[in-house]
């Protein structure tokens, strides 16, 4: 059981909080590179509970800084992005992407003290079409996480952002729960109506998988497994990776290179950052599972991914059009007719509806976690140990200084013979034989 105080420790991410301090030891993706134009308007950005602005200067460098001008705290979002910096419209003070004050035109030359004034700015780097931000205090930031997908050519990677109205842990918990797939996403499907050659068949034939869970160098890992006919096992491996990343088993293990970030905007809002290899055999590149007659299971399967227009609000970016205000597009007739178990069209939107329906933060006293939730409990314990070790003795959390640990993480599904091999060895053996195009 997670207590209320532990829940707060896990979900509060502002400056000085245990989880916020841990998060600030890593690079976090914040926005698409394409959202920023040279000398274009700044973008309001919420990240780890801080109100920031992002802009691209005349030379193409990206700045991310506190939105308050160090002079009188007017918002630099209103500023003029011009000639190598952002200029506050209140008194004309100007700052470069590193936060250095370049100009104080409201003062005479003998009064100028620009060398003493610095806007709070964070270091940035661009990779895979994203702007990454390091909000920590270390003089030399760590390397980016060494996810295999980040080794691949940019034109072979797809990136998407979707905001979710709940805290980051709540979204992560849903990601680590493999038991829900046979109900939320496929509860209406009769196994007899699905080809037994489709891996999806095993998920709906046995909706109560068995589990193996362990700590891993990158965080935690689970194996959900079921029988796949006489003498065979169907495996679904997945991972939690510090500080807020997951790898879901929604693709063939041999090629499924991806990373799914649940980046905290504040304590109640999360940005889902999905980076995946276009050439992988996965749910993103394959047609959705279908009945034997070819009819897609559960409607279009791509439903719900419609967005509201972006606004300039702090939380105005990449919001889904189907949300709590319209019951996530639920169709009660389809639910009643068992055309779609949930009545909500599309896997992502089904997940979004469930995690948002819990509220901004789970009331942990109401939970009754089951054996099928052991990956969730294991991951929460792992994170709590890491936040406390960092707070109490300065021990850096996993991956903060050793980004190469992430190269050992892969998720996906596959079938093996039941030859008595321990599950950890099954994983290692399969990973060794998988595709690794980025290391070629």
Q: What is the pLDDT along the chain (440 residues), one digit of tens a residue?
A: 899 999 999 999 999 999 999 999 999 999 999 999 999 999 999 999 999 999 999 999 999 999 999 999 999 999 999 999 999 999 999 999 999 999 999 999 999 999 999 999 999 999 999 999 999 999 999 999 999 999 999 999 999 999 999 999 999 999 999 899 999 999 999 999 988 888 788 888 999 999 999 999 999 999 999 999 999 999 999 999 999 999 999 999 999 999 999 999 999 999 999 999 999 999 888 877 778 887 777 655 445 589 999 999 999 999 999 999 999 999 999 999 999 999 999 899 999 999 999 999 999 999 999 999 999 999 999 999 999 999 999 999 999 999 999 999 999 999 999 999 999 999 999 999 999 997 75
386 close to 242: Cβ distance less than 8 angstroms: yes
Q: Among candidates 58, 287, 19, 279, which has minimal Cα distance to 167?
A: 19
Residues near 226 by beta carbon (within 8 Å), at least 6 away in sequence: 202, 203, 205, 206, 209, 210, 233, 234
**Model confidence over 393-431: pLDDT tens digits?**
999 999 999 999 999 999 999 999 999 999 999 999 999
Task: Assess contact for 259 and 250: CB atoms under 8 A.
Answer: no
DSSP label at residue 38: B
pLDDT in the model for residue 301: 47
CA of residue 361 relative to chain centroid, distance: 17
HSE-CB at 62 with a 13 A cutoff on CA atoms is 25
Q: Are strands 130-134 and 157-164 parallel, antiparallel or unpaired?
A: unpaired
Range 27-141 classified under CATH 3.40.50.300:
no
Q: H helices within 118-236, ranges in order?
A: 168-175, 200-205
Length of the chain: 440
Rounded-to-integer distance, Cα 262 and Cα 364, Å: 20
Q: Please tell me the distance from the alpha carbon of residue 301 to that of residue 278, in angstroms, as a whole number.
A: 18
Q: Quickly list H helices, 288-435.
A: 332-336, 347-357, 374-393, 423-432
Structure tokens at 199: 């891996």
Closest by CA position to 291, among listed 208, 206, 186, 207: 186
Task: Check if the beta carbon of residue 233 is closer than 8 Å to that of residue 418.
Answer: yes
Q: Do 42 and 27 touch, CB atoms closer than 8 A?
A: no
Tell me the per-residue pLDDT of 152-191, one tens digit each, with 9 for 90 and over. Answer: 999 999 999 999 999 999 999 999 998 999 999 999 999 9
Listed by start position, the domains of the chain span: 27-141, 150-439
């Amino acid at each position: 059981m997670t207590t209320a105080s532990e829940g707060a420790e896990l979900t509060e991410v502002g400056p000085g909080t245990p989880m916020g301090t841990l998060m600030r030891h890593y690079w976090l993706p914040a926005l698409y590179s394409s959202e920023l134009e040279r000398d274009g308007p700044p973008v309001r950005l919420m990240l780890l509970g801080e109100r920031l602005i992002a802009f691209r200067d005349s030379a193409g460098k990206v700045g991310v800084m506190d939105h308050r001008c160090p002079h009188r705290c007017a918002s630099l979002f209103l500023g003029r992005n011009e000639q190598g910096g952002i200029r506050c419209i209140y008194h004309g003070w100007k700052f470069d992407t590193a936060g250095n004050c370049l100009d104080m035109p409201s003062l005479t030359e003998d009064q100028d003290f620009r060398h003493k004034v610095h806007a709070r700015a964070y270091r940035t780097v661009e990779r895979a079409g994203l702007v990454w931000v390091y909000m920590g205090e270390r003089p030399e930031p760590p390397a980016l996480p060494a996810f295999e997908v980040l080794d691949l050519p940019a034109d072979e990677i797809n990136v998407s952002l979707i905001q979710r109205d709940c805290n980051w842990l709540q979204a992560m918990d849903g990601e680590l729960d493999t038991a829900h797939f046979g109900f939320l996403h496929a509860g209406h499907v009769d196994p007899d109506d699905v080809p037994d050659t489709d891996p999806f068949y095993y998920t709906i034939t046995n909706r109560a998988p068995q589990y193996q869970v362990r700590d891993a160098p990158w965080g935690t890992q689970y194996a959900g497994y079921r029988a796949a006919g006489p003498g065979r096992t169907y495996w679904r491996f997945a991972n939690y990776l510090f500080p807020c990343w997951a790898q879901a088993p929604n693709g063939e293990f041999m090629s499924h290179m991806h990373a799914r970030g649940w980046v905290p905007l504040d304590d109640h809002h999360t940005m889902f950052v999905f980076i995946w290899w276009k050439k992988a055999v996965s749910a993103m590149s394959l047609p959705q599972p279908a009945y034997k007659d070819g009819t897609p299971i559960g409607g279009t399967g791509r439903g719900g991914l419609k967005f509201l227009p972006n606004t300039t609000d702090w939380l105005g970016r990449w919001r889904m059009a189907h949300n709590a205000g319209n019951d996530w597009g639920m169709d009660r007739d389809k639910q009643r007719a068992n055309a779609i178990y949930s009545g909500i069209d599309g896997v992502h939107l089904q997940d979004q509806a469930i995690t948002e329906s819990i509220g901004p933060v789970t009331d942990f006293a109401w939970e009754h976690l089951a054996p099928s939730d052991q990956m969730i409990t294991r991951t929460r314990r792992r994170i709590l140990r890491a936040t406390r070790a960092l707070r109490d003795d300065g021990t850096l959390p996993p991956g903060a200084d050793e980004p190469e640990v992430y190269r050992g993480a892969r998720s996906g599904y596959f079938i093996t013979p039941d030859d008595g091999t321990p599950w950890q060895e099954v994983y290692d053996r399969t990973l060794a034989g998988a595709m690794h195009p980025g290391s070629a």
